Chains A and B, each alone.
Chain A
Amino acid sequence: MKRYEKHILLEEIGLEGQNKISQAKVLVIGAGGLGCPVLQYLTAAGVGMIGIVDVDTICLSNLQRQILYTEKEVGKLKVEVAKKHLESLNSTIKINTYPVILSENNALDLISQYDIIVDCTDNFRSRYIINDACVMSGKVFVFAAIYKFEGQLSVFNFRGGTTYRCLFPNPPKEAEVPNCNQVGVLGVLAGIMGIYQANEVLKILLNHGNILSGQLLTVNLLSQKQTILFFEKDEKKITEIRSKKSIEPIDLNDCIVNQVISLEKIKNPKSFYWVDVREEDEEPKINSSLVHTIPLSKFLHHKQNIPNKENTILFCGSGVRSLKALTYLKNAKSLEEGASQLKQYLEKYE
């Protein structure tokens, strides 16, 4: 407890409050610009169990704002690197990693294991999935989102309160969503908004201060203007979500998600250039003229053999290494499923 003495000295926290923090389980979805500071401060504060969900690997352009990572770690899985650094910051807490894409299928299961969810994602699809999963399972979630020099922050589903859908009932249409790789963002904005999220998490755990429920905090770093906008609960919408047995599919693919393609979306496998990024001795072998082999270990040097990046689908055993290879081949796609499923699919097709 020595490490927490500055918290314990605060009358508002004390030993009792620090114990609440130590017993808490918090799931951070997205280990990017917002996720890094959230993870660092929650780890430093001693949150007992932290889960990290992120399927992405580190690329050089992340380092401008994703301050958990270093140059040497470019190409590595974010969740693994984050866990390593966080454990060296605080070895007394438990950190679980989930290198998966949050989806309608896994969200409820992931969320059910934690008390508080922190939405640090960079796309609307994940945000609506998190909202619906949290409403259905009665979990509070701390939301932040950023755009250039501006941020938004709120706490949703706090003691049955307002949700993201009370603010924006439906996901925007695909055409109006900016491509997240094309919009610039001020690095410190992600840091500031992430720290605000960590602050809300601690306030919820300690049951102290004004929790931003029913309120949207907007922050503009150029004007240094902050505004709190109040909004009402949409009871009808909340009841509708609560009554569902499973999460309704979100018909929107923005950001990283649109670089991942599922077999069910592929009508004709012949229109793609398939690249197996597994090492040469891995099973099952796929004997198809459509499939070309470039192991991940040689990918950087042999990727120029790929004729048309836009029509290329990378795959591996489970969809993790193919995502890693995607960082070297920006315009290609990564197969959600693994080699065994692809093998079955191609056999059926041929």
Chain B
Amino acid sequence: MELTLTFFGKLIEVAGNESIQFYSKATTMQELRKELIQTFPKLGTLTFQLAQNNKICLGKATIKSDQIDIFPPFSGG
């Protein structure tokens, strides 16, 4: 399925763009996470979370939306 991925913070630099189209075979967030790391190996070294429908999904949640937000923790102050 074709997903629209929206990146936040320094993940924008990793993905090269704030928003990209991404073809995925994943049915769960965990599988999507693996696919993302394969496509963007740098993500494998970073902490990030995934959200759909404005809800942060940890682990095995099923993908229900074609809009996914991907964000890291920020530390600046």
What residues make up the interface of A, taking CB atoms closer than 8 Å to B?
30, 32-35, 119-124, 127, 144-148, 150-152, 167-168, 170, 172-173, 175-178, 180, 183, 185, 190, 216, 218, 220, 223, 227-232, 254-255
Contacts and interface: CB of A to CB of B under 8 A. Distances in A.
18 contacts: A32-B77, A33-B77, A122-B75, A122-B76, A123-B75, A127-B75, A145-B73, A146-B77, A147-B10, A147-B76, A150-B74, A167-B73, A170-B47, A175-B45, A176-B45, A218-B71, A220-B8, A254-B75
Given A147-B10, A150-B8, A180 B55 contact: no
Contacts of B55: 229-231
Nearest to B56: A231
Interface SS majority for chain A = mixed
A119 B56 CA distance: 22
A185 B49 CA distance: 23
B54 A190 contact: no
Nearest to B54: A229
B8 A218 contact: yes
Contacts of B49: 167-168
Interface in B19-69: 45-47, 49, 51, 54-56, 58, 69
Nearest to A175: B45
A123 B75 CA distance: 5
- In the A-B complex, the 9 residue pairs with the closest CB atoms: A145-B74, A122-B77, A231-B56, A146-B76, A147-B74, A172-B47, A147-B9, A34-B77, A168-B73
Max chain B CB contacts within 10 Å: which of A35, A127, A147, A232? A147
Contact of A152 (B10, B54, B58, B74): B74
Contacts of B54: 227-230
Contacts of B71: 152, 218, 229
A121 B73 contact: no
A221 B47 CA distance: 23
B69 A255 contact: no
A255 B56 contact: no
B10 to A, nearest CB: 7
Given A147-B9, A150-B8, A168-B47, A180 B69 contact: no
